[in-house]
Amino acid sequence: MNSRRRNLRWTDIDMAELDLEKLVLHFSQSNKAEGKSPKTIAWYGDMLKDYIGYLERINRQKVLANLDIELVREFTVHEQGRGLSPYTVQGKVRSPKAFSSWLFNEGYTSENILLTLKVPKAPINLIEPLTGQEIDKLIIYQNPLTTIGSRNIAIFILLLDSGLRVSELCGLRFDDAHIEEGYLKVFGKGSKERIVPIGALSQKMLWRYVFHFRPEPIIPSDNYLFLTLDGKPLVVNAVKLILNRWGKNAGVPRLHAHLCRHTYATNFLCHNCGDVFRLQQILGHTTLEMVRKYVHFASTQALMNGRTASPVDYMGIKKLRGYKIDRMLKNNGH
C-alpha cells in the first residue's frame, strides 16, 4: 500500500468545508500583519464569534458554506430582537462583511459572498457639545497650582483643543509634543502618524504643567508627556476615571473623554476653523463617514444658536404685504 501523500493543490481543497473558527483566526493574523490595532482585531474576532455561536444554536455546522447572506440576515434579525443598540447590531453586520471581503481577496471564495448585504441603519443621536458654563464649572473645580490640578487642566484643554482619542493622549511622548511650535505628532489607529495643531491656551496649560509640575519619568525610556505623581505613564483607564469623577464632583456628570472629541469637532465646524477634509485629517478618520456626523451636529447647533435665513423671505412675495389687518395688528401691539 502506498503511504506517500500526494502533493495537495489549492484547487483540491474543499473550501466550503473549511472550519470558520480557523479562518477567523487566520483573518485576525492578517489584520495584525496589516498593522491594525489590537482593539480593532479583538472587535472583529468578538463579532465573528457571535455569528459562529449563532450557527451552533441553530444546529448549523461552523463551516465556510454557512457564511451565507440569508443566514447573516437571520442572525441580524435575531440580534435586533435581543434589544441590542442599533450601533451594536451594525457592528455585527460590518464584521462579517469585512471577513467576506478578506475571504474573497485571499481566494477562499470565488465571489464576495456578503457584498450586497446592507448594513442596518442607526439613528443619528444629537450629542450636545460641552457648553461654556459646563467648561467653567470643570475648570474652577481643579486647582491649577498643584501637580494634579495643572496636569488635569492641561489634559482637559488639550482634549477640547485637539480632538485626541484618550489612547492617543496617553501614548503622546514628550518629544512628540512640539509645544512652542504649536503642534503634536500623534500616532493613531493602525500606527498612522499625523500632525495635530494646538492653540495658544493649550500651549500655555502644557507649559505650566511641564515647567513647574511634571515629574521626571521613573523609567527614562517611558518619557510620556502625561505622568502619574510618581512618574509612571498615565494609562487610558486612569484618564477615563479622572474625567468621570471630575465631572460628577464638578456638577457635569455627562463628562467623558469622547464628549471632548465631539465638542472639539462641533466647534471646529461651527467656528469655521477649517473644512471637513481638514477635520477628517486632524481627527485621524480614514473616511468622511464619521465626519458627516459632526457636520450634522454642527448644523443643528447653528440652528439652535442663531437665526436661520428664510428662503421665503428672499422670494419677494408682495401679494401678502400691506393688508389693512396687518397694520391694525401692528398698531395694537401684536
> What pLDDT sits at residue 279?
84
CATH no. for 132-305: 1.10.443.10
Q: What is the mean pLDDT of the segment spanning 129-155?
A: 94
Distance of CA 297 to the CA centre of its chain: 15
Q: Say if CB 156 and CB 141 are below 8 A apart.
A: no
Distance CA 7, CA 249 (A): 69
Q: Say if CB 168 and CB 187 are below 8 A apart.
A: yes
Distance CA 65, CA 273 (A): 51
- pTM here is 0.69
> What pLDDT sits at residue 289?
67
C-alpha cell at 86: 442599533
Domain boundaries, the chain: 10-105, 132-305
Q: Are 10-105 and 132-305 equal in CATH topology?
A: no
The answer to which of 31-40, 45-54, 161-170, 287-296 has the lowest mean pLDDT is: 287-296
At 76-112, the pLDDT tens digits run: 999 999 988 888 999 999 999 999 999 999 999 999 9
Chain-wide mean pLDDT for the chain?
A: 86
C-alpha cell at 206: 502644557
C-alpha cell at 73: 440576515
Yes or no: domain 10-105 corresponds to CATH 3.30.920: no
Helices (H), the chain: 20-33, 38-57, 69-81, 86-105, 132-141, 147-162, 166-170, 200-208, 236-250, 257-270, 276-283, 289-305, 324-331
152/268: higher pLDDT: 152
Q: Where does the pLDDT of residue 318 fall: very low under 50, low under 70, confident under 90, or very high at 90 and above? A: low
Q: Say if CB 183 and CB 171 are below 8 A apart.
A: no
Task: List, in order, residues 6 or more apart from 273 with CB less than 8 Å away.
Answer: 267
